Amino acid sequence: MGSVRGWRKLNVAVVGGGIGGISAAIALRRAGHEVTIYERLDFAGEVGASVPCAANGTRWLHEWEVDVAKGDPVVLKQLINRD
Q: How many domains does the chain contain in total?
A: 1
Instruction: Check residue 68 and give its pLDDT.
Output: 73
In a domain, 28, yes or no: yes
Instruction: Check residue 70 and give its pLDDT.
Output: 77
Contacts of 9 (CB under 8 A, 6+ apart): 1, 2, 32, 33, 34
Instruction: Check residue 29 and give its pLDDT.
Output: 93
For 64-73, b where at least 16 C-beta lie within 10 A, e where not — what string? Answer: eeeeeeeeee
Considering only CA atoms, which of 17, 10, 16, 15 is closest in space to residue 32?
10
In a domain, 48, yes or no: no
Is 2's pLDDT higher than 60?
no
Give the model confidence (pLDDT) of 24-77 as tens digits: 998 899 899 999 999 887 766 655 556 666 667 777 777 878 777 777 767 777
In a domain, 1, yes or no: no
In a domain, 77, yes or no: yes
In a domain, 3, yes or no: no
Domain that holds residue 69: 11-42+53-81
